[in-house]
């Protein structure tokens, strides 16, 4: 049998969709080494200038008018609004997928973002194609933008999401509660003490990791100022991402702080840094939460992007693995409360109980045993 080719379509809107695609690709290669895997960022400039420009406008909107995005998110949450939004983006992006499909001729497609998922769904409908399509949802809540026809397998984080899709008429056998895929690196990390030794960190101080995704969002400079109010000496690890201005601000702040502060820009060591932390202060991205669950890292969540990140914060808080800092609440006081008594230990246990560390393995097993994948779609 000829080797299969799998096309993974993702989108660099935040880092979570990309990380999920990488985790699935890594596991596909492990379970099916002869399979050819091609991963395409649907929103990259190299894929399409117009897709890239759409992404840039979206990110600017988040920076300057976050409430406007909240309105769009809520409007598209309804069945009618979601269908209109999904179709608008699908028709806009269809020519790019038609080019990719012609060039690559994949035997199956996996999407980790709703834009390419809706586009492939539309293409299948227009061409009456049986090309196998799997969709990996990267949120802890269901949104109509994810829901398409012609999807052979849906993978999701929670049973509540599955039940909601069943109620909307999706076939239960196509819906799989696997969790959100994370890298196998998380499962193979050394213990906390060993990680700290490797990074040259002492064992006696509490370690807090501050991060805001690859774009360095989330008010990290303000967080550092708040943490300076805590008298107890701490070790603060700051990941500024690709935000060079934030990196310089954090490095300047470290010179006058009574805490020990170490700063990284964009780094591949995020999971190790999460592994050494007693507490993670971050925006509630779904992949970040999933990795923190697997590592048992308690979280203090703040400044969610209206919409999906708010739902992610609700989920993690409801399960006892995180504290959600709302506007007006004092960060320093929240940290001191978390460090009091056995709160950290309880949050650690709740995080581990919420984890689905084998999501990538389960997703790939289901895809590989799908009849559509092995039968192929070509005449």
Claim to verify: residue 11 and residue 116 sit in the same structural domain: yes
pLDDT recorded at residue 213: 55
Claim to verify: residue 69 and residue 173 sit in the same structural domain: yes
Claim to verify: residue 339 and residue 362 sit in the same structural domain: no
Claim to verify: residue 164 and residue 242 sit in the same structural domain: no
Q: Which pLDDT tens digit goes with each residue over 154-200? A: 999 999 999 999 999 999 999 999 999 999 989 889 999 999 999 89
Question: Rg (Cα) of the chain, in Å, rounded?
Answer: 21
Claim to verify: residue 135 and residue 198 sit in the same structural domain: no
Claim to verify: residue 266 and residue 134 sit in the same structural domain: no
pLDDT recorded at residue 152: 95
pLDDT recorded at residue 101: 96
Answer whether residue 216 shows pLDDT above 60.
no
Claim to verify: residue 26 and residue 152 sit in the same structural domain: yes
| Structure tokens belonging to residue 357 | 């560390």
| Structure tokens belonging to residue 116 | 């390419």
| Structure tokens belonging to residue 40 | 């395409």
Q: Whole-model pTM above 0.85?
A: yes
Q: Which pLDDT tens digit goes with each residue over 100-144? A: 999 999 999 999 999 999 999 999 999 999 999 999 999 999 988
Claim to verify: residue 267 and residue 169 sit in the same structural domain: no
Q: What is the CATH number of the domain that holds 264?
A: 3.40.50.2000
Number of domains in the chain: 2
Distance between CA atoms of 309 and 330, rounded to whole angstroms? 20
Answer whether residue 52 shows pLDDT above 60.
yes
Q: Which domain holds residue 347?
A: 185-354
Claim to verify: residue 274 and residue 294 sit in the same structural domain: yes
Give the pLDDT mean for 306-330.
91
Claim to verify: residue 177 and residue 193 sit in the same structural domain: no
pLDDT recorded at residue 304: 81
pLDDT recorded at residue 40: 98
pLDDT recorded at residue 172: 96
Please give the backbone phi and psi of residue 142, each rounded to the nearest 5 degrees, phi first: -90, 135
pLDDT recorded at residue 378: 47
For residue 315, what pLDDT band results from cuts at 50, 70 and 90?
very high
Q: Supply the DSSP string of 22-66, one letter for each residue.
A: HHHHHHHHHH-TTSEEEEEETTSTTT-HHHHHHHHHHHHHHHH-H
């Amino acid at each position: 049998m000829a080797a299969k080719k799998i096309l993974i379509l993702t989108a660099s809107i935040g880092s979570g969709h990309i990380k999920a695609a990488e985790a699935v690709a890594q596991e596909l290669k492990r379970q099916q080494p002869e399979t050819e895997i091609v991963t395409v960022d649907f929103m990259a400039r190299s894929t399409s200038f117009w897709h890239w420009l759409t992404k840039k406008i979206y990110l600017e909107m988040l920076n300057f008018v976050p409430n406007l995005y909240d309105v769009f998110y809520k409007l598209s949450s309804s069945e009618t609004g979601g269908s209109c939004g999904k179709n608008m983006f699908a028709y806009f992006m269809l020519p790019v997928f038609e080019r990719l499909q012609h060039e690559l001729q994949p035997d199956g497609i996996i999407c980790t973002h709703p834009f390419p998922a809706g586009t492939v769904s539309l293409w299948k409908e227009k061409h009456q194609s049986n090309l196998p399509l799997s969709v990996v949802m990267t949120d802890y809540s269901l949104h109509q933008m994810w829901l398409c026809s012609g999807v052979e397998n849906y993978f999701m984080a929670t049973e509540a999401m599955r039940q909601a899709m069943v109620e909307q008429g999706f076939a239960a056998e196509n819906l799989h509660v696997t969790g959100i895929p994370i890298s196998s690196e998380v499962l193979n990390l050394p213990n906390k003490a060993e990680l700290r030794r490797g990074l040259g960190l002492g064992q006696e101080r509490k370690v807090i990791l501050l991060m805001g995704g690859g774009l360095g969002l989330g008010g990290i400079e303000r967080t550092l100022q708040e943490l300076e109010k805590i008298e107890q000496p701490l070790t603060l690890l700051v990941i500024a991402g690709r935000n060079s201005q934030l990196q310089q601000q954090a490095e300047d702040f470290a010179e006058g702080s009574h805490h020990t502060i170490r700063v990284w820009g964009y780094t591949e060591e995020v999971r190790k840094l999460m592994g050494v932390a007693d507490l993670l202060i971050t925006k509630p991205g779904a992949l970040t939460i999933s990795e923190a669950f697997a590592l048992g890292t308690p979280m203090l969540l703040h400044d969610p992007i209206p919409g999906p990140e708010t739902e992610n914060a609700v989920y993690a808080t409801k399960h006892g693995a995180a504290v959600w800092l709302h506007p007006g609440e004092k960060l320093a006081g929240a940290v001191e409360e978390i460090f009091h008594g056995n709160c950290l230990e309880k949050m650690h246990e709740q995080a581990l109980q919420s984890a689905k560390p084998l999501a990538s393995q389960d997703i790939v097993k289901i895809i590989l045993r799908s009849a559509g994948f092995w039968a192929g779609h070509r005449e």
